[in-house]
Amino acid sequence: MTLEQFRKHFASDSGVIHFNNAGQAPIPDVNLEAAVQWLQRFHREGASCSMEGWGQVEKARQRLAAFLGAHSEELALVQTTASAISQAALGIPLQPGDEILTWDQEYPSNFYPWRVAAERSGAHLIQVKSDGWLTPVSRLLDRVTSKTKVIAISWVQYQTGSVTDLKALSTSLKNRGIWLVADVIQGAGVRPFHFHDSGFDLICGGAHKWLCSGYGVGFMAIRKEKIDQLRLLEFGAMTYGNPDTPKSFTIEPKPTAARFEPGSKSMIEVIAMTKTLDLFEAAGMEAISAEASRLGRRLRQGLEQIGFEHACAEGPIVNFSCRDDKAVAELLKSAKISHALRGPGVRISLHAFNSETEVDQTLDLLKAHRP
């Protein structure tokens, strides 16, 4: 599939330029069609089609696991990224005096679960100071001590797009006994990713941003050898089997990551997500990533020519600033260009379905508001 063919699946007559893909991306037509089809089936058939639906959810687990470079038995489908991070933070055994390292610019959902985990266990949550807005591995390594038990970071930072090299970090800390946990929601779907190659123990994410799918589809991938080491946070029928599994005082949780799914999931959204994954696979993640980054470079170059400053040098997330960021945000809003005010300035986040025309149209608008 060519990129032009890929773009056509996101075409609409809304007039909106979708430049807040780091917040919520639009869903492609194939995702919409699948969701509508299953809504219609539940309207007509009710429970008669539910077992088929759950079978499709298991296929979705396999598809998403393969997309992320994990085994299907390592993947849990949960409600949100925050749910997955909470399971990680409150499930990792911590002792008084243990240290949890995280960046000082993490999204709140990758801060509060670790704060609570530290408060409950007597561990210390240490926010490592960024290098400006950059997040180099060296800063984390400088803070590692014999007491470090967990490093919990975002692969890509939500405000500026700053990237932490997960592979370099895991290689440097190999055999140190430190849990490596990453929130990958700001990279999965727009940057190639492979869980096993990353060297991390556990990743969390969701589908409504760069994976261009609906809300309510979160995921957690955990290495097989770590599953039994992570304490369960929630319990239900699906922890141990299914609703027809006889209750027992001796039954053990499922041996796979599905034990972290206590009950039903967002079936329709999960099934529809597989159609987006099919689309990404047809276009190719390398091509998608290259195009999104190319558009990011085009925007940065144009912003520099106008006189705006930007925070990071590469990737599809562009954060720029001037004397009055709020005025710029209002200007973009009036032109139906989605965006977000984040961190040092205005965040624009571009996907491969965006176009040069949209970038140039935005730059032309911003020329009227020179810094």
Number of C-beta neighbours around residue 249 at 10 A: 4
| 221 CB-contact burial (10 Å; exposed 0-12 / middle 13-18 / buried 19+) | buried
Instruction: Evaluate if residue 160 carries a pLDDT over 70.
Output: yes
Q: Which amino acid is at 88?
A: A
Indicate the number of domains in the chain: 2
Q: Which of 281, 310, 340 marks a domain boundary?
A: 281
The verdict on 78 and 15 lying in the same domain is: no
- With 80 as the cut, is the pLDDT of residue 370 above it? no
The helix/strand/coil state of 47 is: helix
- The model's confidence at residue 371, banded by pLDDT at 50, 70 and 90, is low
Q: Are residues 48 and 156 in the same domain?
A: yes
Q: Reduced to 3 states, what is the DSSP secondary structure of residue 165?
A: coil
Residues 297 and 268 occupy one common structural domain: no
Structural domain boundaries, residue 229: 31-281
Nearest residue to 368 via CA among 316, 306, 309: 306
Distances (CA, A) of 111 to 133, 173, 369: 17, 22, 36
Q: How confident is the model at residue 47 (pLDDT cuts 50, 70, 90)?
A: very high
Query: Residues 155-177: what's their mean pLDDT?
Result: 97
- Averaged pLDDT score across all residues of the chain: 97
CATH number of 157's domain? 3.40.640.10
Mean pLDDT of 113-140: 97
pLDDT (0 to 100) of residue 30 = 98
Same domain, 303 and 264: no
Q: Say yes or no: 302 and 209 in one domain.
A: no
| Percent share of the chain, pLDDT over 70 | 100
Over residues 9-15, the mean pLDDT reads 94
Tokens found for residue 333: 């809003």
301 and 276, same structural domain? no
Whether 121 and 238 map to the same domain: the answer is: yes
User: Are 276 and 290 members of one domain?
Assistant: no
CATH of residue 328's domain is 3.90.1150.10
Q: Which of the four pLDDT bands, split at 50, 70 and 90, describes residue 68?
A: very high
Residues 325 and 266 in one domain: no
What pTM, to 2 d.p., does this model score?
0.96
Structure-token pair, residue 124: 């210390």
| Same domain? 144 vs 208 | yes
Calculate the CA dihedral of residues 172, 176, 181, 182 and round it to 10 degrees: 0
Pick the last residue of a domain from 281, 299, 332. Answer: 281
Backbone φ and ψ of 163, nearest 5°: -110, 135
pLDDT at residue 313 is higher than 80: no
Same domain for 47 and 14, yes or no, is no
pLDDT in tens, 314-365: 899 999 998 889 999 999 999 999 999 999 999 999 999 999 999 999 999 9
| C-alpha span between 1 and 219 (Å, rounded) | 27
- Predicted confidence at residue 369, as pLDDT, reads 75
Mean pLDDT of 102-114: 98
pLDDT at 254 (0 to 100)? 97
Please say which residue of 239, 256, 281 terminates a domain.
281
- 293 and 147 in a common domain: no
pLDDT reading at 368 higher than 90: no
Could you tell me the two tokens for 231? 């304490």
